[in-house]
Structure 1
């Protein structure tokens, strides 16, 4: 019973710490501190979250050319850093897609090489054994060899050049 009360007391004591404190000068030059910002004028946030940024002015034709390729996506970046981050994210995404494509191609090439090797072994006439459901080794007969050859040939035709 004591622990929940102590936890609640600690939690309630931390609420004032999270409050924002604003500083501003009035028309007489006096500095004021408050948890409520003034309705007008320049305000400095001393502690807590930054006040929300004022809305960006509407984009003009000259700004669109300076935005680069970020404007192509329908959004106009607020500043150069945002535009840089958008370009960086787009480049990283393109690089990740390219790396994934290369990995997929390497896997497909490995599969094709393995399938062609297995098909060559089946067609060579050498004896091939496989493990059955009981974990015992059994040799492929002519029917199983033909079925396996057909299956491998279909996979090669579908997945390999």
Structure 2
């Protein structure tokens, strides 16, 4: 019982010590400073007072409605920007994949290995003329897609 009473008494003494004076002043640049000690330069006008919670600003219904509308507009703009960014990323990824496939096709035709295609269920080798035509087509597709080297 004595411990509880002593703890309560100590807590009350500590709380009253924390409610000391707060000093506020403006420096030569116009910035406001707050401290529990007065400034070193006594030429500055000082306001002092007890620490108290700041009063909450009274909000009118009109200002709340305006804030709500502005919030909704910002949210909609953010959602639109995110959607556009996702679509752009999707397009970039698709183009990157398409370019990789075109480059692989060109490398295959330029490599010199024999390439086949399926005709009527059978593998048929490309002739040299077909192969050079396909190589030119792959180069043209790469240039048209602007994939770079």
TM-score range, shorter chain: 0.5 to 0.7
Larger Rg: 2
Question: After the TM superposition, which segments of 4 or more aligned residues of structure 1 sit over 3 Å from their partners?
Answer: none
Superposed displacement of residue 158, structure 1: 1.2
Q: How does 1:67-146 map to 2 (within 5 A)?
A: 79-132=66-119, 134-146=120-132
Q: What is the CA–CA distance in structure 1 between the aligned matches of 2:121 and 2:91, rounded to whole Å?
A: 33
Specify every segment of 5 or more residues in structure 1 that has no aligned partner in the other structure, as ranges: 1-66, 68-77
Q: What is the CA–CA distance in structure 1 between the aligned matches of 2:99 and 2:82, rounded to whole Å?
A: 26
TM score, norm. by length of structure 1? 0.48
2:143 equivalent in structure 1: 157
Superposed displacement of residue 79, structure 1: 2.1
What do the CA deviations read for 1:2-61 (whole angstroms, capped 9, x no partner)? xxxxxxxxxxxxxxxxxxxxxxxxxxxxxxxxxxxxxxxxxxxxxxxxxxxxxxxxxxxx
| Higher-RCO chain (CA-CA 8 Å, sequence separation at least 6) | 2
Q: What is the CA–CA distance in structure 2 between the aligned matches of 1:151 and 1:84, rounded to whole Å?
A: 53
Specify every segment of 5 or more residues in structure 2 that has no aligned partner in the other structure, as ranges: 1-62
Aligned residue pair count: 84
